[in-house]
Structure 1
């Protein structure tokens, strides 16, 4: 795969994203973009499932460490979240349309949303933008996000890079925009 499809850039949260004006105040807001090959699926849900199921192995270790620590503070663990309905991995699905899926969680300490948006570029190429916004409710939420933010950014970038290297799921027929399922 050409390296041009492995370049991940920090970008502003797209103005058309459903998370742009979701919270009055933000304790974390970031977005990362990666170009998609022309034959890649344009289904945000399929792409979200693909990214979250192809994370680097070291992310699983970090999640176990996180769960051990945060479970003591009353935060939800990945094991608990993964057992709930209407989820992609540990993330609750809030909405989906032809260009974007919104995932996230509301908790007593903080609320967050993730947007996976498939965007057409003016020159005809496509990109995927993975955006995150977090709104904290109290000092525990703010402390948590201060500790987690650097890891979050590494995980998002590493997950996008891994998905690109594994090979994005393909559209069956890009003209009809019918997508294949991920295993």
Structure 2
């Protein structure tokens, strides 16, 4: 099974994937998993996101609140401030396009029918458009990795 964002790997400025084993045979709902990973961020992440929004506003970059408000106004599906771009029984893709970069994140259930053979894979791909995008990406990449791993661990702990 291939992710819907697989075609975006070529030329990406960031492409990463993290996977965790699914700990329970009853966990089959990609919507619930995506909500658990993206929809309930830690307080420290919220604080960093507020700082990011305050800084990036100076450069005309969309804030998380602006993205969320637009989705709610237009009736688009979203998880927290992440717009849902596509959804299937096994994968949800969120993402946003802005002047400095475009990003896509896939949350995909992969593997067999039983828990030890199944995993949740979170893949992120970023394409920068300019120097601001590359500078931004270099600053947030270490935090991105920490957030994804922490969110996956927390989601799987909740799932037990």
Give TM-score scaled by structure 2 length: 0.88
Deviation of 1:121 after TM superposition, in Å, equals 4.5
Q: 1:102 aligns with which of 93, 101, 123?
A: 93
The corresponding residue for 1:112 is 103
8 A Cα contact 2:11 2:127, kept in partner: yes
Q: Secondary structure at the match of 1:21?
A: helix
8 A Cα contact 2:53 2:63, kept in partner: yes
| Gap runs ≥5 in structure 1 | 1-14, 170-183
What's the CA shift string for 1:108-142, capped at 9, x where partnerless? 11111000000114986211001100001111111
Provide the C-alpha distance between the structure 1 equivalents of 2:146 and 2:50, rounded to a whole number of angstroms. 16
8 A Cα contact 2:83 2:96, kept in partner: yes
More helix by share: 2
Is 1:151 aligned to residue 143 of structure 2?
Answer: yes
Is 1:162 aligned to residue 141 of structure 2?
Answer: no
8 A Cα contact 1:110 1:136, kept in partner: yes
Farther-moved stretch of structure 1 (23-32 vs 108-117) = 23-32
- Which stretches of structure 1, 4 residues or more, deviate above 3 A after TM superposition? 121-124
Report the aligned-residue RMSD: 1.9
Provide the C-alpha distance between the structure 2 equivalents of 1:162 and 1:23, rounded to a whole number of angstroms. 27
Give TM-score scaled by structure 1 length: 0.78
Provide the C-alpha distance between the structure 1 equivalents of 2:35 and 2:20, rounded to a whole number of angstroms. 16
The corresponding residue for 1:175 is none
The corresponding residue for 1:88 is 79
What's the CA shift string for 1:65-98, capped at 9, x where partnerless? 1111111111111111121222211111111111
Provide the C-alpha distance between the structure 1 equivalents of 2:68 and 2:26, rounded to a whole number of angstroms. 27
Provide the C-alpha distance between the structure 1 equivalents of 2:155 and 2:113, rounded to a whole number of angstroms. 24
